Structure 1
Amino acid sequence: MRRPFKTATQKLSADSLRLNAFAQAIAQAASRLEERYWESQLDVLLRKLLRNHHQDVIESSLDHLFKQESDAYDALMENVEAASESCIVELNGTSYDALLIAMPILAWTRFSIASGPIPADMVMTLSAHLHAHVLAPDTKLAMAPTLFSIDQLPRTHADTFALTQQMTQAALKDAPVKNSPHAAETAPFLADTRYLLAVVAAPAGEALFRWQASSNPTERDEALSQWNTQAMPNIARLLPGCGIELLLPEAYFVACREGDRLIRPASIRAAVHYLTHTLTIEPDALQAVIGSFGEEEAEGRVDEYRIGFSLSGEPDILYGVVWPLYGQEDDDELQYRVVETPTDPLLSSVVERKSPIEEIFALLEECGVVHVKRHAELFSMEFCDDCGSPLFPDMEAELVHAEMPEDAPAGTAHLH
């Protein structure tokens, strides 16, 4: 179950009540035909709300259902995402299905990870590789000329809807996509995700991806392999000084969640690598302090772990890594799978773990950090009032800033 935006409790509007009713009907449907009927009703309402930027109405419904009815919440969230990232457009008498896709790039470095505008010739080259190795033949494509950080992606479903509509028109008219003139600033991290965005369109009912066109779902793996091989040299030019791993281009929300999940192991490895090389120490000279963090009103739910690093036996936290949790990952009994990425040791992961905290312990052990303390209490989500940085627990369970020694070599100021 995915989590909603944090919103204040308020009386539900008439449209919010209708959203809830449609989502509940979908969750209770006894046949695929009934489910599709309610989905079509919900889709009409969602597109009206998204087009008019009534994000607050949608968030109120999601917040209410998240607390009351998990099945209906999942149904509403799935349909909100679908309405935001896809559309049906008619052009010259032909109906087209269009989908916003994201191409996640996992990157790590001791310096800085680039973002921002990319050259037109690079857009053309990457578009050609997409057509050749990922998309179905004869699809139409428009790629944004930007390497996005997470801070520069659409912030709401309404923003995503607007971007999808804009880029769909560009794809169907074979026109270039314009850069956003007001891109948000990007915080520097040692390991972070970058995204390329595009819209792919095809006549309604036709395949969008190569594995659909061949009716062979196993071709997804081959598409990812070819994308890594062919696109990597070009993307490496956009991210100088970085280690890189490319994930499969997929529907926007699924791809972004995969990028968020798979950057987490690289964040811990990059932290240990950076600290040991910057301070000229071995990993066993470090100690890690782990705290569970959650919203005060969430009744004990863990939203993220924060891992602070210090020198063994020393009180000061030098660096911190935030490990956010997604869906039901806060359930320690949940069995889940971490995708193995053997192309680089920074990203190769233990494949089966019972819980995120077990994966964190395994990663620290793998990195050579043998002194690890986990606090039992649940900390509130505290941030620095001055700079907004997350605070990390020290050995005494005090929440503190993570700060490198004054005589340490200058470098990246944050960790993911």
Structure 2
Amino acid sequence: MRRPSKDSSHKLSADSQRLLTLAQAVGQASSRIEERNWERALDNQLHKLLKTGHQDTVDGALNALFSLDLNAYDILMDSVEAVSESATIVHEDAEYDVLLVAAPILAWTRFSIASGPIPADVLNTLSAHFSAHLLADNTHMAMSSMLFSIDQLPRTHAEAYSKTHKLALAALKGAAVKTEVKIQETAPFLADTRYLVAAVVAPAGEAMFRWQMPGAHLHQAEERRLALEQWRTQAMPTVARLLPGCGIELLLPEAYYMACREADKQIRPISIRAAVHYLTHSLAWEPSDLRAVIAGFGEENADGQIDEYRVAFTRRAESDVIYGVVWPLYGQEDEEGTPPEGPLAGGLAELLQPRTPVEEIVEHLNAAGVTIVKKLGERYVAEYCDDCGAPLFADPSGELVHAEMPEDAPTGTEHFH
């Protein structure tokens, strides 16, 4: 489901209005030539705004289009993401294409998931594997010397634009990338994502990834699979040094926003499994001793829109909520689910029926051994604890409460994903 920025303004600046008009023009183009012409104009305008840090101007246009023209909103969002994560630059009289890439790492543990500066020897090893197994010939790359949590990634398109160009210049010069001076603290979770971030630079018009190279075109899907397999095999021991005590899964490094969205989705079922594992081992219970309560939550003035589901855990025959997990919705997802993507084997009609998020959550709960699941039909306003900021969860009777572990439970990580 599409979601606008929280901070909206009804009065548009001249630059915001120009973005709005250009995005609508792209959507109304009657030919590819006209569409690309408008796209260039839109990209040029975005380039000027992001380079000078005018994120508020971009947000103003996005907010206006969200209520005015959803097709143009999607066009502008796609464009601003593309301009902030990619570029064509000139260096020493040669033209290069640049792409900001994120390599997501799914991690889960009963302890803490590390983030922060990467030692130089580890960074060099990861960079070497990244180049050897993922990138096309004749490319350059520079990896940030930070292992990022989601709270430490660029927060705006303007910040992503700045990081793209900073890393690209380092890649072309072969220079080291300085660690960020200010590091945002991140809350500990049982399951969370960490990111390696790099800029890939290739001669203009040439391949960036191995599966894009001319010899791989006829079997690019297999080449992509093999690249991921090699990345996992070669990088895993080094990544494990950065994340001691954690279960780890490496996802395919991709364009920055695509990789982050895919990681956001893939961490959700792991959060369910990690919560069940934590509760059963901390309390010496079996998964069958647990009950899960699923409720939908959204903003107060959102016309019934569900932004996330919250899964509360209780003991099977009790009502006290002892733990909770948040399952946010992303992109085009909503409470009705989204149709499956990709080829459908057999073409069976039932495969065309989308799985709802609730059905997915129940499936993962059942797979983890939790068979007693209560689904509440009421939509709740997303509320949080005034003291600690933790989300409130619905208990079996539908009352919103703070999740509290039993007093005799061992102390440890008690945050919620």
TM-score range, shorter chain: over 0.9
The change in CA–CA distance for 1:165 and 1:7 in structure 2 (over 3 A counts) is: same
Aligned residue among 264, 268, 273 for 1:264? 268
Q: Does 2:389 match 1:378? A: no
User: 1:162 and 2:162 equivalent?
Assistant: yes
1:159-204: CA deviations, max 9, x gaps?
1111111111111111011111111111010010000000010111
For the 8 Å contact 2:390–2:416, the answer to whether it is kept is no
Counterpart for residue 326 of structure 1: 330
For 1:44, the equivalent position in structure 2 comes to 44
Pairs within 5 Å for 1:13-412 = 13-213=13-213, 214-215=216-217, 216-218=219-221, 219-336=223-340, 354-412=355-413
Ranges in structure 2 where 5+ consecutive residues have no aligned partner: 343-352
SS at match of 1:200: strand
In 1, Cα distance between equivalents of 2:409 and 2:257: 39
Whichever residue aligns with residue 38 of structure 1, its letter is W
Q: What do residues 310-332 of structure 1 show as CA deviations (whole Å, max 9, x unaligned)?
A: 11222211111000001221141
Greater mean deviation of Cα atoms: 185-194 or 59-68: 59-68
Question: What does residue 345 of structure 2 align with?
Answer: none
Distance in 1, Cα, partners of 2:302 & 2:254:
32
Measure the CA separation in 1 of the matches of 2:414 and 2:368: 21
Mapped contact 1:308–1:317 kept (Cα < 8 A): yes
Q: TM-score under structure 1 normalisation? A: 0.94
Contact 2:290/2:370 (CA < 8 Å) preserved in 1?
yes
Q: Percent identity?
A: 60
Match of 1:217, as an amino acid? Q
Q: 2:288 aligns to what SS in structure 1?
A: helix
Amino acid at match of 1:230: Q
Letter in 1 for 2:409: A
8 Å CA contact retained: 1:5, 1:59: yes
Q: Which moved more, 1:55-64 or 1:327-336?
A: 327-336
- Residue 333 of structure 1, CA deviation: 4.9
Distance 1:179 1:2, change over 3 A: farther
**Matched residue type, 2:202:** A
Please tell me whether the aligned partners of residues 102 and 253 of structure 2 are also in contact (alpha carbons under 8 angstroms). yes
Which 10-residue stretch deviates more, 237-246 or 308-317?
A: 308-317
Cα displacement string for residues 119-157 of structure 1 (whole angstroms, at most 9, x for unaligned residues)? 111111111111111001121110011110000000111
CA contact (8 A) 2:385 2:392 kept: yes
Quote how far apart the aligned CAs of 1:4 are: 2.8
- How far has the Cα of 1:69 moved from its partner? 1.4
| Contact 2:138–2:203 (CA under 8 A) maintained in structure 1 | no
Corresponding letter in the other structure for 1:152: Q
Q: TM-score, normalised by structure 2?
A: 0.94
Distance 1:176 1:63 in 2: 38
Secondary structure of residue in 1 paired with 2:409: coil
Q: Which deviates further from its counterpart, 309-318 or 191-200?
A: 309-318
> How many angstroms apart in 1 are the aligned matches of 2:132 and 2:3?
36
The Cα shift of 1:367 comes to 1.5
2:414 counterpart letter in structure 1: A
Classify the secondary structure of the residue corresponding to 1:318.
strand
* Greater Cα offset, 98-107 or 381-390: 381-390
SS at match of 2:310: strand
Distance 2:401 2:57 in 1: 37
1:66-113 CA-to-partner distances (Å, cap 9, x unmatched) read 222121111101100001011111111001111110000001111111
Q: Secondary structure at the match of 2:155?
A: coil
Rounded to whole Å, the distance in 1 between the matches of 2:150 and 2:280 is 28
Task: Give the conservation status (yes or no) of the 8 Å contact 2:337–2:354.
Answer: no
2: CA distance, partners of 1:192 / 1:333:
23
**CA distance 1:383–1:337, change in 2 (3 Å):** farther
Give the Cα separation in 1 of the matches to 2:68 and 2:410. 51
C-alpha contact 2:294 2:358 (8 A) present in aligned 1: no
Deviates more, 1:208-217 or 1:244-253: 208-217
